[in-house]
Amino acid sequence: MSFSEFTQEDYAAIERDWKVLRKSAQDRCANDAEMEVVQRAFDFANDAHRNVRRRSGEPYMLHPIAVAQIVVDNIGLGYKSISAALLHDVVEDTDYTIEDIQDRFGPKIATLVDGLTKIKNVLDTEQKTRGTDISQQSLQAENFKRILLTMNDDVRVVLIKLADRLHNCRTIEHMPEHKRDKILSETMFIFIPLAHRLGLYSIKSELENIWLRYKEPEAYDEIQRRIDRLVEEKGAEMDAFVKPIEEALDKDGFTYAIKKRVKTPYSVWKKMQDKGISFDEIFDLYAIRIIFEPKADTKDTERNQCYRIYTILTDLYMELPERKRDWIKRPKANGYEALHCTLLSESGIWVEVQIRSKRMDDIAEKGIAAHWAYKRHGIMGEGDYEMDAWINHIQGILTNPNVNALELLDIIHNDLTSTVIYVFTPKGEQRSIQKGATALDFAYLIHTEIGHKAIAAKVNHKLVQLSQPLKTGDKVEIITAQDGKPQLQWLDFLTTHRARTLVRDYFNSRRKIAVDYGRGLLEQMAANEEVKLNETILQRIESACKAPSREELFYGIGVGTVKHTDLESILKRYTSRGNWLSRAFRGNQNPDKKPSEQEEVKTESGYIIASCCKPIPGDSVIGFKMPDGTITVHKKTCPVAESFAATHGDRVIVPEWPSDTEEKTFLVRITLKGVDRVGLLNEISRYVSLIMGVNMRRLSLQADGGIFDGYIDLSISSKENLDQLMKKLSSIDGIEKVTRSDL
């Protein structure tokens, strides 16, 4: 921020944006008294931020106005939240206090502003230099714990913070690059999953696109250009696709609106990355959304009217059955309800069609705020119960006193990003549970005592072990025994937070068993790492795990509050060179492999090329300064880097490829697929080796039924050379696809 006298243009800009917000707020406020509070909040904040400017040089007041605009337009909150958004930076950036806010605007608005002020304080706090000991928790992890804890007080604080984060990301070009990388990593790791789980699709989608625009600018620009070109070329065909649908819905007496949309650059990029496909292979770029008002003059339910529209559509066009998604019968955990199908247009374009009622659309676009609004009026759909269940689940996690900050961050992140599967009880009742859950997780989902006494399970009438992973559609029966009881070994395969917590709680009253088990487990792990546990090492492990005594250390290991992966990292410290924290974020993806066996590229200037994503000169990269002084370089889109930047933002730096890499080569893998023909392999080898002068380290191509696929490992000097090589290979007759892939 900076200070300088406002000009007439500055005052005009503030008045212009306030005029737009005032109109939106008036539409949202229930009466003149509510609007009067919003007006006073604007006047107070405008006076407090007078002559204060943002990094961009704009008047600072434009930021709270923009945040309030998102709060009302994208989230649909009421006058108290709009007022809190206008006031959210006053206490932090001026001499006013929370008491001043309470005196002028009452306790509820003051509470919201106080929560937002605390979040800003902890996010802006830079982490001080720390040692390498695992006991020194990440300050950012503690900060995120405090942010999430505000959900227990008033979830509106988190919603307004999401609006604040969105506007900061919209103007992120004015930030220095290292701070930009930190903010974007936090955004991807926590805020985007939060927006998704709270049902805020438009905010989630915009944040994702901003993330991609700065993390992979070339990919973003190329995908956006191709989308724009296709929209222009195919606009008439989409109109022709929609026209028969409109005629059929009119004939059936529906009141509706049809919206056309196209996949976002991020969703296209994500699908290309996850499936290893090219832009041309994405067949569901186009979508239309049918939003209807349920008929009042019929006995058909809202759900049945969705199915009626689906029948109309499939009578008109051919459907791709495997792409049907029934989120009405099985709503998502964030409350999302809709019926999706993919239809083939007359011109040969696959189009995804989303069918929603007005209520479903409101909840899909404005998430939890719309959920509350309908709930207050006694209107509930299947998805509303899922939303309530998830919020209660998160509140249970947040209030658990036995979970430290880093563990909480992992649990919440995994919960936010986990995929839900649907399984059935023996009586046919549907239950949702996170993907990867086992039969025993399901037992604890049904009832605590069923989990405690479980000894086996039947999945689809077949006898299986309790550790059997489940998949959507499974019918699960839990077999119990009267003398059955929990086993500490269950913690090795249980995946849901509820089940793990119940097993740990069970052993809290059986302490000696857990202590003995933990001691034996540590001794076994030490033996596996060829470490002899002497008093010095045991004391250091106690200190690293913040255990107040030896018994507490063994107990923590026994019940799983001390992570086994953390113990392995500490023990490795005594078997080979280096520092465990440095290695952990250099991309060591195989904890069973000693660091000396990892493929690690180290430049003469001290840069270490992460083995998890293996960036090469020309890639968009992010760097981390490690405790031993070395700098580890990752691709900006690397998940390991995203996680580390989100929790150790103070270590983020902006690396430059040092000059000593100009003569180096880096191992890269490309995958190829196409139509086999005589001489194709020779042509590939000739171009790679003789024309480009690139060394092939490994080549594996297989042909079956006239189609070939495989990969080539190359020693390449830069992304520019790699792009040139891939472009040429793609032009060879018979090659359909060339992509860069993980080694």
Q: What pairing do the DSSP bridges indicate for beta strands 350-357 and 286-293?
A: parallel
Q: Work out the average pLDDT over 266-294.
A: 87
pLDDT tens digits for range 353-387: 999 999 888 877 776 665 555 555 445 454 444 55
Q: Chain-wide mean pLDDT for the chain?
A: 81
- Note the pLDDT of residue 666: 84
CA–CA distance, 193 with 111 (Å, rounded to integer):
25
Which residue carries 């492999």 as its tokens?
593
Q: What pairing do the DSSP bridges indicate for beta strands 286-293 and 318-319?
A: unpaired
Using only C-alpha atoms, what is the Rg of the chain?
28
Catalytic residues: 92-93
CATH for 666-741 (3.40.50.410, 3.40.630.30, 3.30.43.10, 3.30.70.260): 3.30.70.260
Confidence band, pLDDT 50/70/90 cuts, at residue 599 = very low
Whole-number Cα distances in Å, 456 to 429, 442, 492? 20, 12, 16
520 pLDDT exceeds 60?
Answer: yes
| Helix, strand, coil tally for the chain in percent (to 5) | 55, 15, 30
Confidence band, pLDDT 50/70/90 cuts, at residue 223 = very high
* DSSP reduced 3-state for 342: strand
Cβ(615)–Cβ(633) below 8 Å: yes
Cβ(719)–Cβ(619) below 8 Å: yes
CA–CA distance, 289 with 258 (Å, rounded to integer):
6
Q: How far apart are the first and last CA of the chain?
A: 45
User: Which class is 400-507 in CATH?
Assistant: alpha beta
Cβ(555)–Cβ(514) below 8 Å: yes
- Note the pLDDT of residue 11: 95
**Type and span of the H or E element at 336:** none
Cβ(624)–Cβ(648) below 8 Å: yes
The Cβ of residue 47 has, within 10 Å, a number of other Cβ atoms equal to 11
Q: Which position has the higher pLDDT, 67 or 76?
A: 67
706 pLDDT exceeds 70?
Answer: yes
- Note the pLDDT of residue 266: 94
In this structure, what DSSP letter does residue 468 have? P
Confidence band, pLDDT 50/70/90 cuts, at residue 491 = confident
- Note the pLDDT of residue 590: 42
Q: Which of 111-120, 296-305, 355-364, 598-607 has the lowest mean pLDDT?
A: 598-607
**Percentage with pLDDT > 90 across the chain:** 30
Each domain of the chain, given as residue ranges in start order, spans 2-126+151-174, 217-383, 400-507, 510-572, 580-655, 666-741
CA–CA distance, 123 with 310 (Å, rounded to integer):
47
Nearest to 87 by CA among 77, 73, 97: 97
Q: What pairing do the DSSP bridges indicate for beta strands 621-625 and 666-675?
A: unpaired
Q: Which position has the higher pLDDT, 163 or 528?
A: 163
- Note the pLDDT of residue 328: 87
Q: HSE of 503 in the Cβ direction (CA atoms, 13 Å)?
A: 29
Cβ(147)–Cβ(158) below 8 Å: yes
pLDDT tens digits for range 545-577: 878 788 888 888 887 778 777 787 778 776 543
Cβ(68)–Cβ(44) below 8 Å: no
592 pLDDT exceeds 50?
Answer: no
User: Which class is 217-383 in CATH?
Assistant: alpha beta
389 pLDDT exceeds 80?
Answer: no
Name the architecture of domain 2-126+151-174.
Orthogonal Bundle (1.10)
* DSSP reduced 3-state for 523: helix
- Note the pLDDT of residue 591: 36
In this structure, what DSSP letter does residue 686 have? I
Q: Which of 18-27, 208-217, 317-326 has the lowest mean pLDDT?
A: 317-326
| Cβ-defined contacts of 212-221 (< 8 Å, 24+) | 212/265, 212/266, 212/269, 213/265, 214/172, 214/180, 214/184, 215/184, 215/620, 215/636, 215/637, 216/269, 216/620, 216/636, 216/637, 217/620, 219/269, 220/265, 220/269
DSSP 20-87: HHHHHHHHH-SSHHHHHHHHHHHHHHHHHTTTEE-TTSSBTTHHHHHHHHHIIIII---HHHHHHHHH
